Structure 1
Amino acid sequence: MNAPSRHAYVGIHNDLHGGMTTIGGIIKDAWVFGLIPETETCEGWTPARIQMLHDQVAAAWDQHGLLASRLPPDLRERHARIHDEAIARAKAQGWVPGMDVDGTMAQSL
């Protein structure tokens, strides 16, 4: 097997705060829609492969008006579970919502 390229994705569990990133969000939503199994971390995936997954996730969200509240009950429950678990893991790793994207917030603390 070839070694992963330096441009390969590190995997959701190795990503910043356990995947609280744009790519991590794509992966979590792909789990919600059953596009990939929840055991798939996407470690070693190329940017092109991540982009293809993004396109599939976007198409799935389009079917539901881009709102979790419009998901059928089974998907809404899966969405809540996956995202709630991810938030809990990230907070346990020291993640503070907004601090990684808004530098002024960190200065005000």
Structure 2
Amino acid sequence: MQPKKTYPGIHNDAYGGMTPTGNIIRDAWVFGIIPEEETCEGWLPGGVEDLYDKVSEAWAPYGHLASRLPPELRERHQRIYEAAIARARALGWEPALDDED
């Protein structure tokens, strides 16, 4: 029997979590669903899926747009994402300009 695949944690994920799962975790931090110290390292896929559902529900009142967040959440979102982008770029990440890269 193969061991269950677990998530490596946002800081061990590609370019410091510049992945869909990393976005879920950062958004969960924004909304206070999990503490910012929680990296989700060792989580099973079902745990990440449950987190996604909670994050999606938290975004719903704002149309899933950061520009519609109230000031406190918008500021937290900006702080978290700016730090993530800076870390990812330091690790060599370059955002794709189109889908063909």
TM-score tier (shorter): over 0.9
Greater gyration radius: 1
Displaced runs of 4+ in structure 1, greater than 4 A?
A: none
What amino acid is the match of 1:54?
Answer: Y
Structure 1 residue ranges without an equivalent (≥5): none
Q: TM-score, normalised by structure 1?
A: 0.86
Identify the residue that residue 25 of structure 2 maps to in structure 1: 27
Deviations 1:1-43 (A, max 9, x none): xxxx451000000000000000000000000000000000000
Distance across 2 between alignment mates of 1:76 and 1:67: 10
Instruction: Please tell me the root mean square deviation across aligned C-alpha atoms, in Å.
Output: 1.4
2:54 to 49, 52, 56: 56
Aligned sequence identity (%): 60
* Count of residue pairs the alignment pairs up: 99
Structure 2 residue ranges without an equivalent (≥5): none
Judge conservation of contact 2:4–2:44 (CA < 8 Å) in 1.
no
Identify the residue that residue 13 of structure 1 maps to in structure 2: 11
1:69 to 67, 70, 81: 67
1:87 to 80, 85, 88: 85
